[in-house]
Amino acid sequence: MAGKRTIEDIARLAGVSKATVSRVLNHKPDVDPATRERILSIIEEQGFVPSITASGLAGGRNRLIGMLIPSLTWPLIPDLIRGIADAVEPTPYELVLYSIKDEDLERDRSEVISRLLATQLTAGLLAVFPARASQQLTRLYQQGFPVVIIDDQLKQTTPWVGTDNAAGAYTAVRHLINLGHRRIAHIGGPHEYLASHDRYNGYRQALLEVEVTPDPDLVLEGDFMPPTGRTCAKKLFELPPEKRPTAIFAATDQMAYGVLSAAEEHGISIPQDIALVGFDDDAPLG
């Protein structure tokens, strides 16, 4: 048989209808097991590759799930992709990644979302750390487009999956409190992220429970990454001795690694001179 194989070719060789082949391709359960095996065997023998877009159009919807990611260089992204790909693999859907540049995250997010919707090839969208773009995603969701936000949105109006950031931060700071610390600094994330607010609130709650009011001089803003952790830590280390913290809670492990770097530069030993706790269970960036 010459040329590219079609679904009609597979149906003819298997002695079944196109609809039966389509049901097998789309993992439908209502196909006789022996027939299913015969069709799959012929598909393999003929090297047939179904058209994702064609099968989607035929079924009234496509089979592509878009995943909007801020950058492949962010520490959590590879693990998220692997987990989502594992979940998608046994389904008739395919995962397509839409990455955005680091230079202008908000503009790039909006442009990518607009482009992928214009293609009309995406059945739904997973958005990782969308920040202000969550407003655009919420509008899409309200218009009936399937959207799930992963980890962050300023207002929880769209379906989302994420970490209990407040509880995690509370647990981390309680650990420091139980070690005897009361002057505990917090290096937080950017204000536009819900995770940043939640982790600060967990930090604040833990301190208030032991009648300690958070000191504004000990609360600094970073951007989740090591350089700002280092910069913020240097500011803390340069405070007058009576105002310095005895412990630091960094809102991400990456910023905690920055604190370690600053401590080494200042001849400060961790945890002997100052205690340090991060958040996320991340490995250092390579």
Looking from the CA of 134 toward its CB, the CA atoms found within 13 Å total 21
Tokens of 59: 């079924």
Q: What integer pLDDT is reported at residue 161 of this predicted model?
A: 86
- Whole-prediction pTM value? 0.68
User: Rounded to whole angstroms, what are the CA distances from 216 to 243, 253, 256?
Assistant: 11, 22, 19
Q: What integer pLDDT is reported at residue 135 of this predicted model?
A: 72
**Amino acid (1-letter code) at residue 213:** T
Going along the chain from its start, the domains and CATH numbers come out as: 7-50 (1.10.260.40), 64-161 (3.40.50.2300), 165-277 (3.40.50.2300)
Q: Quick: pLDDT tens for 12-56.
A: 999 999 999 888 877 678 889 999 889 988 887 887 766 555 555
CA distance 280 to 278: 7
CB-based contact 207:270 (threshold 8 Å): no
* Predicted confidence (pLDDT) at residue 104 exceeds the cutoff of 80: no
DSSP structure class, residue 123? E
184, 286, 186, 272: which is closest to 229 by C-alpha?
Answer: 186
Q: What integer pLDDT is reported at residue 24 of this predicted model?
A: 84
Q: Quick: pLDDT tens for 209-244.
A: 999 999 999 999 999 999 999 999 999 999 999 999
246, 232, 231, 252: which is closest to 169 by C-alpha?
Answer: 252
Q: How confident is the model at residue 257 (pLDDT cuts 50, 70, 90)?
A: very high
CA distance 194 to 180: 29
CB-based contact 19:5 (threshold 8 Å): no
Q: What integer pLDDT is reported at residue 107 of this predicted model?
A: 53
Q: Is the peptide bond before 271 cis (omega within 30 degrees of 0)?
A: yes
Q: Quick: pLDDT tens for 72-90.
A: 767 778 888 999 999 998 8
Tokens of 121: 């090839």
